[in-house]
Protein backbone atom coordinates (compact mmCIF):
# COMPACT_ATOMS: atom_id res chain seq x y z
CA UNK A 1 0.00 0.00 0.00
CA UNK A 2 1.18 3.52 -0.77
CA UNK A 3 2.63 4.97 2.44
CA UNK A 4 0.64 8.22 2.10
CA UNK A 5 -2.62 6.26 1.94
CA UNK A 6 -1.52 4.14 4.87
CA UNK A 7 -0.69 7.18 6.99
CA UNK A 8 -4.06 8.83 6.44
CA UNK A 9 -5.81 5.53 7.03
CA UNK A 10 -4.15 5.11 10.39
CA UNK A 11 -3.99 8.70 11.57
CA UNK A 12 -6.78 11.23 11.24
CA UNK A 13 -5.37 14.28 12.92
CA UNK A 14 -2.25 15.98 14.22
CA UNK A 15 -0.36 14.89 11.13
CA UNK A 16 2.90 16.78 10.82
CA UNK A 17 4.65 16.95 7.48
CA UNK A 18 8.01 18.68 7.09
CA UNK A 19 9.42 20.25 3.94
CA UNK A 20 13.12 20.65 3.37
CA UNK A 21 15.33 21.25 0.35
CA UNK A 22 17.53 18.38 -0.84
CA UNK A 23 21.22 19.26 -0.76
CA UNK A 24 20.80 21.98 1.87
CA UNK A 25 22.58 23.08 4.00
CA UNK A 26 25.15 20.50 2.84
CA UNK A 27 24.97 18.43 -0.31
CA UNK A 28 25.04 15.20 1.68
CA UNK A 29 22.53 16.18 4.40
CA UNK A 30 19.41 14.85 2.65
CA UNK A 31 19.43 11.43 4.34
CA UNK A 32 20.52 12.55 7.81
CA UNK A 33 17.74 15.15 7.96
CA UNK A 34 15.15 12.57 7.01
CA UNK A 35 16.33 10.15 9.67
CA UNK A 36 16.36 12.80 12.37
CA UNK A 37 12.88 13.98 11.40
CA UNK A 38 11.45 10.50 11.50
CA UNK A 39 13.08 9.90 14.87
CA UNK A 40 11.64 13.08 16.33
CA UNK A 41 8.07 12.44 15.26
CA UNK A 42 7.48 13.73 11.73
CA UNK A 43 4.71 11.81 9.97
CA UNK A 44 5.70 12.65 6.42
CA UNK A 45 8.49 14.32 4.46
CA UNK A 46 8.36 16.65 1.47
CA UNK A 47 11.77 16.86 -0.09
CA UNK A 48 12.29 19.79 -2.43
CA UNK A 49 14.44 19.35 -5.53
CA UNK A 50 16.00 22.72 -6.29
CA UNK A 51 15.19 24.94 -9.26
CA UNK A 52 16.79 28.13 -10.49
CA UNK A 53 13.52 30.08 -10.76
CA UNK A 54 11.18 29.09 -7.92
CA UNK A 55 8.34 31.59 -8.47
CA UNK A 56 6.08 30.26 -5.74
CA UNK A 57 8.76 30.58 -3.06
CA UNK A 58 9.70 33.41 -0.75
CA UNK A 59 13.29 34.47 0.01
CA UNK A 60 14.12 31.73 2.55
CA UNK A 61 13.32 28.74 0.34
CA UNK A 62 14.73 30.55 -2.71
CA UNK A 63 18.02 30.81 -0.85
CA UNK A 64 18.04 27.12 0.10
CA UNK A 65 17.30 26.23 -3.50
CA UNK A 66 20.16 28.37 -4.74
CA UNK A 67 22.59 26.97 -2.20
CA UNK A 68 21.57 23.40 -3.01
CA UNK A 69 22.24 24.06 -6.70
CA UNK A 70 25.57 25.67 -5.88
CA UNK A 71 26.37 22.60 -3.76
CA UNK A 72 25.79 20.47 -6.87
CA UNK A 73 22.37 18.95 -6.24
CA UNK A 74 20.51 17.55 -9.23
CA UNK A 75 17.85 14.91 -9.79
CA UNK A 76 20.30 12.11 -10.59
CA UNK A 77 22.16 12.63 -7.34
CA UNK A 78 18.93 13.05 -5.41
CA UNK A 79 17.57 9.71 -6.62
CA UNK A 80 20.80 8.03 -5.47
CA UNK A 81 20.48 9.65 -2.05
CA UNK A 82 16.84 8.62 -1.83
CA UNK A 83 17.73 4.98 -2.28
CA UNK A 84 19.99 5.27 0.79
CA UNK A 85 17.26 7.17 2.58
CA UNK A 86 14.71 4.42 2.05
CA UNK A 87 16.96 1.91 3.78
CA UNK A 88 16.38 3.82 7.00
CA UNK A 89 13.20 5.83 6.66
CA UNK A 90 9.76 4.22 6.59
CA UNK A 91 7.42 7.25 6.70
CA UNK A 92 5.92 8.57 3.44
CA UNK A 93 8.20 10.74 1.33
CA UNK A 94 7.09 13.15 -1.40
CA UNK A 95 9.18 15.10 -3.87
CA UNK A 96 8.31 18.73 -4.36
CA UNK A 97 9.60 20.95 -7.12
CA UNK A 98 8.95 22.79 -10.34
CA UNK A 99 7.95 21.22 -13.62
CA UNK A 100 10.90 22.14 -15.85
CA UNK A 101 13.49 19.84 -14.24
CA UNK A 102 10.89 17.05 -14.41
CA UNK A 103 10.28 17.68 -18.12
CA UNK A 104 14.02 17.60 -18.81
CA UNK A 105 14.40 14.36 -16.86
CA UNK A 106 11.43 13.01 -18.81
CA UNK A 107 8.13 12.60 -17.00
CA UNK A 108 8.10 8.83 -17.39
CA UNK A 109 11.76 8.52 -16.33
CA UNK A 110 11.06 10.76 -13.38
CA UNK A 111 8.06 8.72 -12.22
CA UNK A 112 9.96 5.48 -12.66
CA UNK A 113 12.94 6.81 -10.69
CA UNK A 114 10.54 7.95 -7.96
CA UNK A 115 9.00 4.50 -7.75
CA UNK A 116 12.43 2.82 -7.71
CA UNK A 117 13.57 5.13 -4.91
CA UNK A 118 10.48 4.53 -2.79
CA UNK A 119 8.86 7.93 -3.31
CA UNK A 120 5.14 7.98 -2.57
CA UNK A 121 3.96 11.16 -4.23
CA UNK A 122 4.83 14.48 -5.83
CA UNK A 123 3.90 18.12 -5.50
CA UNK A 124 4.64 20.08 -8.66
CA UNK A 125 2.96 23.46 -8.15
CA UNK A 126 3.36 24.69 -11.72
CA UNK A 127 2.07 21.52 -13.38
CA UNK A 128 -1.49 22.53 -14.27
CA UNK A 129 -4.51 20.34 -13.80
CA UNK A 130 -5.33 20.24 -17.51
CA UNK A 131 -1.84 19.08 -18.52
CA UNK A 132 -1.73 16.58 -15.66
CA UNK A 133 -5.06 15.09 -16.65
CA UNK A 134 -4.39 15.03 -20.39
CA UNK A 135 -0.75 14.01 -20.48
CA UNK A 136 0.64 12.70 -17.23
CA UNK A 137 -1.96 11.17 -14.95
CA UNK A 138 -1.57 7.78 -16.61
CA UNK A 139 2.16 7.75 -15.93
CA UNK A 140 1.76 8.82 -12.30
CA UNK A 141 -0.80 6.06 -11.73
CA UNK A 142 1.32 3.47 -13.50
CA UNK A 143 4.12 4.06 -10.98
CA UNK A 144 1.81 4.32 -7.98
CA UNK A 145 2.61 7.97 -7.31
CA UNK A 146 0.17 10.33 -5.63
CA UNK A 147 -0.01 13.78 -7.24
CA UNK A 148 -0.89 16.50 -4.75
CA UNK A 149 -2.74 19.64 -5.81
CA UNK A 150 -2.87 22.99 -4.05
CA UNK A 151 -5.99 24.92 -3.08
CA UNK A 152 -6.03 28.60 -2.02
CA UNK A 153 -8.69 30.84 -0.41
CA UNK A 154 -9.43 32.08 -3.94
CA UNK A 155 -10.10 28.60 -5.38
CA UNK A 156 -13.79 28.21 -6.21
CA UNK A 157 -15.87 25.36 -4.77
CA UNK A 158 -16.37 24.00 -8.26
CA UNK A 159 -12.64 23.84 -8.84
CA UNK A 160 -12.01 22.31 -5.41
CA UNK A 161 -14.47 19.54 -6.35
CA UNK A 162 -12.59 18.98 -9.58
CA UNK A 163 -9.26 18.87 -7.76
CA UNK A 164 -10.71 16.44 -5.22
CA UNK A 165 -11.87 14.20 -8.06
CA UNK A 166 -8.47 14.22 -9.70
CA UNK A 167 -6.42 13.85 -6.51
CA UNK A 168 -5.42 10.95 -4.44
CA UNK A 169 -3.35 11.05 -1.31
CA UNK A 170 -4.31 14.40 0.15
CA UNK A 171 -5.08 18.00 -0.79
CA UNK A 172 -2.71 20.78 0.17
CA UNK A 173 -4.63 23.77 1.53
CA UNK A 174 -2.66 26.99 1.37
CA UNK A 175 -3.47 29.25 4.28
CA UNK A 176 -3.37 32.24 1.93
CA UNK A 177 -2.54 33.09 -1.64
CA UNK A 178 1.09 33.70 -0.90
CA UNK A 179 4.64 32.68 -1.66
CA UNK A 180 6.22 30.40 0.95
CA UNK A 181 7.42 31.93 4.19
CA UNK A 182 4.64 34.40 4.89
CA UNK A 183 3.41 34.27 8.48
CA UNK A 184 0.04 32.69 8.99
CA UNK A 185 -2.31 35.12 10.62
CA UNK A 186 -5.54 33.34 11.18
CA UNK A 187 -8.12 35.97 10.39
CA UNK A 188 -11.85 35.61 9.83
CA UNK A 189 -11.14 35.23 6.15
CA UNK A 190 -8.90 32.21 6.68
CA UNK A 191 -11.16 30.50 9.18
CA UNK A 192 -14.18 31.02 6.91
CA UNK A 193 -12.22 29.46 4.07
CA UNK A 194 -10.96 26.54 6.18
CA UNK A 195 -14.50 25.92 7.41
CA UNK A 196 -15.89 26.18 3.89
CA UNK A 197 -13.49 23.49 2.67
CA UNK A 198 -14.09 21.31 5.75
CA UNK A 199 -17.84 21.52 5.11
CA UNK A 200 -17.40 20.26 1.57
CA UNK A 201 -16.58 16.80 2.95
CA UNK A 202 -13.98 16.03 0.32
CA UNK A 203 -13.02 12.46 -0.41
CA UNK A 204 -9.35 13.32 0.19
CA UNK A 205 -7.83 14.30 3.52
CA UNK A 206 -6.38 17.81 3.76
CA UNK A 207 -3.22 19.33 5.19
CA UNK A 208 -2.76 23.04 5.75
CA UNK A 209 0.52 24.63 4.78
CA UNK A 210 2.27 27.98 4.26
CA UNK A 211 3.04 30.09 7.28
CA UNK A 212 2.99 27.45 10.02
CA UNK A 213 5.88 28.22 12.32
CA UNK A 214 4.76 27.69 15.91
CA UNK A 215 2.83 25.36 18.17
CA UNK A 216 -0.19 27.71 18.01
CA UNK A 217 -0.31 27.89 14.23
CA UNK A 218 0.16 24.13 13.95
CA UNK A 219 -2.72 23.55 16.36
CA UNK A 220 -4.93 25.84 14.29
CA UNK A 221 -4.09 23.80 11.21
CA UNK A 222 -5.00 20.62 13.04
CA UNK A 223 -8.32 22.12 14.05
CA UNK A 224 -9.42 22.64 10.45
CA UNK A 225 -7.57 19.88 8.62
CA UNK A 226 -5.90 16.54 9.23
CA UNK A 227 -2.67 18.29 10.04
CA UNK A 228 -0.11 20.80 8.90
CA UNK A 229 2.96 21.23 6.73
CA UNK A 230 5.99 23.20 7.88
CA UNK A 231 8.62 24.42 5.42
CA UNK A 232 10.25 27.81 5.83
CA UNK A 233 10.39 27.71 9.64
CA UNK A 234 12.10 24.32 9.48
CA UNK A 235 14.74 25.17 6.87
CA UNK A 236 15.56 28.32 8.82
CA UNK A 237 16.10 26.20 11.92
CA UNK A 238 18.63 23.91 10.24
CA UNK A 239 20.55 26.63 8.42
CA UNK A 240 23.41 26.69 10.93
CA UNK A 241 24.86 24.57 13.69
CA UNK A 242 24.39 20.92 14.54
CA UNK A 243 21.75 19.31 12.35
CA UNK A 244 20.60 16.62 14.77
CA UNK A 245 20.36 18.95 17.74
CA UNK A 246 18.56 21.62 15.74
CA UNK A 247 16.05 19.15 14.40
CA UNK A 248 15.27 17.57 17.74
CA UNK A 249 14.83 20.93 19.45
CA UNK A 250 12.70 22.23 16.56
CA UNK A 251 10.47 19.17 16.66
CA UNK A 252 10.00 19.47 20.42
CA UNK A 253 7.83 22.52 19.70
CA UNK A 254 5.28 20.20 18.11
CA UNK A 255 5.84 16.74 19.58
Partner 1 sequence: MNYFVNEKGYYGDFGGAYIPEMLYPNVEELRQNYLKIINDADFQKEFHALLKDYVGRPSPLYLAKRLSKKYNAHIFLKREDLNHTGAHKINNTIGQILLAEKLGKKRIIAETGAGQHGVATATVCALRGLECVIYMGEVDIQRQAPNVARMKMLGATVISAVSGSKTLKDATNEAMRDWINNPVDTHYIIGSVVGPHPYPDMVSIFQSVISEETKKQLMEQTGSDQPDYVLACVGGGSNAMGMFYHFIGDENVKLIAVEAAGKGVSSGFSAATTFLGKEGVLHGSRSILMQTADGQVVEPHSVSAGLDYPGIGPQHAHLFKTTRAQYASITDEESLEAGLLCTQMEGIIPAIESAHALAYLEKMEFTGNENVVVCLSGRGDKDMQTYMNYFGF
Catalytic annotation, residues:
46, 57
- Entry field: residues in the chain: 255
CB of 67 to partner 1, least distance (A): 13
Tell whether residue 196 is a contact of partner 1 (CB under 8 A): no
Least CB distance to partner 1 at residue 191 (A): 18
E strand or H helix that includes residue 229: strand 227-230
Nearest to partner 1 of 156, 240 (CB atom): 156
**DSSP-derived secondary structure for 47-88:** EEPP-S--TT--HHHHHHHHHHHHHT--HHHHHHHHHHHHTT
Which residues between 144 and 163 bind partner 1 (CB under 8 A)? 149-152, 154-156, 159
C-beta closer to partner 1: residue 10 or 156: 156
Question: Please, what is the Cα angle at 194 between 190 and 197, to 5 degrees?
Answer: 140
Cα angle for residues 115, 98, 222 (degrees, 5° grid)? 80
Residue 100 or 249 having the CB closest to partner 1? 100
For 71-170, list the strands marked E by DSSP.
Answer: 93-96, 121-123, 146-147, 150-151
Q: Which is nearer to partner 1, 6 or 55 (CB)?
A: 55
CB of 186 to partner 1, least distance (A): 17
- Candidates 27, 56, 198, 243; binder of partner 1 (CB under 8 A) is 56
| 58 φψ region: left (φ > 0), alpha (ψ -120 to 50), beta (else) | beta
CA angle (98, 145, 221) in 5-degree steps = 70
The minimum distance between CB 62 and partner 1, in angstroms, equals 6
Is residue 51 close enough to count as binding partner 1 by CB under 8 A?
A: yes
Q: Does 177 interact with partner 1 (rule: CB under 8 A)?
A: yes
Among positions 80, 108, 131, 242, the unique one binding partner 1 when judged by CB under 8 A: 131
Q: What share of the chain is helix, strand, coil (3-state, %, to 5)?
A: 50, 15, 35
Looking at residues 87 to 126 of the shown chain, list those that interact with partner 1 (rule: CB under 8 A).
Answer: 98-105, 125-126
User: Helix, strand, or coil here: 20?
Assistant: strand
Contact call for residue 200 and partner 1 (CB under 8 A): no
Binding residues for partner 1 (CB under 8 A): 51-59, 62, 66, 69, 74-76, 98-105, 125-128, 130-131, 149-152, 154-156, 159, 174, 177-179, 182
Amino acid sequence: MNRIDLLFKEKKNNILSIYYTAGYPGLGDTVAIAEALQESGADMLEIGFPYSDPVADGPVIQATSKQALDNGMDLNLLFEQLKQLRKKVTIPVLLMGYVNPVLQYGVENFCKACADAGIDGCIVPDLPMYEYEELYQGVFLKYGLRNIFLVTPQTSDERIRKIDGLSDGFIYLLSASATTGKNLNVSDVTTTYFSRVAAMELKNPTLIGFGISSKETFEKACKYANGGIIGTAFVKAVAKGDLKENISSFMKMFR
